[in-house]
Amino acid sequence: MGNNIQEATIISKEKILLPWTVGLYQNIGSRKEQQDSFGKIYSIFHEKPVLLAILADGMGGMKDGAQFSRITVNTHLEKFHSVVEKYENPVNVLLTLAHESNLEANKIYNPDKPGGTTLISAIFYKNYMTFLSIGDSRINLVRNGKALQLNREHVFGSVLDERAWMGVIPHEDAEGSILRDRLISSVGEPKIRRLDIIENPIELLPGDRIVMMSDGVYRALTDEEIISDFCESPQKTAEKIISHVAEKAIKDQDNNTILIVEKE
């Protein structure tokens, strides 16, 4: 297991019943360095508890991937409470935190040796959840034994597929390109090129689970395999899924990180 887990609590000392259970776990895979970071933080929003969950996957093979991901997670945790107090809308909270994280990451950006990180951030408030996505980490809603991917992956493959459907290039060229998995947006660049955010929050039902994961998980396991590993608690589920990735013994296995939030 890696050590890039960050947790913080900014909440009243009085006991507050939180309507979510969180599980989080990671493994370094066969890489020399853990470049994934993730964390969670609680605060108060409109006199109700609010949860921020965040996952960042430093760009493998590029400069300072681990540092970019840690900066992104730490900035979210450090600024969350003040940003929550400033805005009425969770969407503005997520956008501001992403912007602040990119400003901090820009401080170590080197155009001669560029690097960056993906970002998935999600706010849970009352019975609702909204999220922001940059890069190719993934966020799924698992309900009644079925998984629904909520975000798009910002990779060159999506651009190639669009060109193929427009008749610009053959479908075979799009599907067979070795560049399909190349990121086209990340935190850390001078400007974030693509960003997905939902303005209308998703209503969560009791038992729903939001699964946030780096590509080291979903490239190793199918949605069906991930769901088959579900246990009675999000933490045990997270540990079992990461153990399942290790059991696959995939050559050059990437860092693999997962964060699960269950609506109680």
Query: How far apart are alpha carbons 127 and 130 in whole angstroms?
Result: 11
Q: Is residue 164 part of a domain?
A: no
Q: Is residue 228 part of a domain?
A: yes
Query: How far apart are alpha carbons 164 and 158 in whole angstroms?
Result: 10
Query: How far apart are alpha carbons 125 and 111 in whole angstroms?
Result: 39
Q: Is residue 159 part of a domain?
A: no
Number of domains making up the chain: 1
CB 208 within 8 A of CB 263: yes
* pLDDT more than 70, % of the chain: 92
* H or E stretch at 258: strand 256-263
Q: Is residue 143 part of a domain?
A: yes
Write the CATH number for 44.
3.60.40.10
* pLDDT more than 90, % of the chain: 72
Q: Is residue 55 part of a domain?
A: yes
Q: Is residue 237 part of a domain?
A: yes
Query: How far apart are alpha carbons 242 and 126 in whole angstroms?
Result: 29
Each residue's pLDDT tens digit, 35-65: 999 999 999 888 889 999 999 999 866 668 9
Residue with tokens 């997905």: 196
* Domain ranges, residue 38: 5-152+186-263
What confidence score (pLDDT) does residue 8 get? Answer: 47
Tell me whether strands 5-9 and 36-45 are parallel, antiparallel or unpaired.
Answer: parallel
Three-state DSSP class for residue 119: strand
List residues bridging with 45 in a β-sheet: 48
- Ramachandran assignment for 122, one of left (phi > 0), alpha (psi -120 to 50 degrees), beta (any other): beta
Q: Is residue 11 part of a domain?
A: yes
Buried b / exposed e over 138-164, threshold 16 CB at 10 Å, is bbbbbeeeebeebbebbbbbbbbbeeb
Give me the tens of pLDDT residue by residue for the chain, a chain 264 residues long: 445 655 544 443 344 578 999 999 999 999 999 999 999 999 988 888 999 999 999 986 666 899 999 999 999 999 999 999 999 899 999 999 999 999 999 999 888 888 899 999 999 999 999 999 999 999 999 999 999 999 999 988 888 888 889 999 889 888 888 888 888 999 998 889 999 998 899 999 999 999 999 999 999 999 999 999 998 899 999 999 999 999 999 999 999 999 999 998
Q: Is residue 249 part of a domain?
A: yes
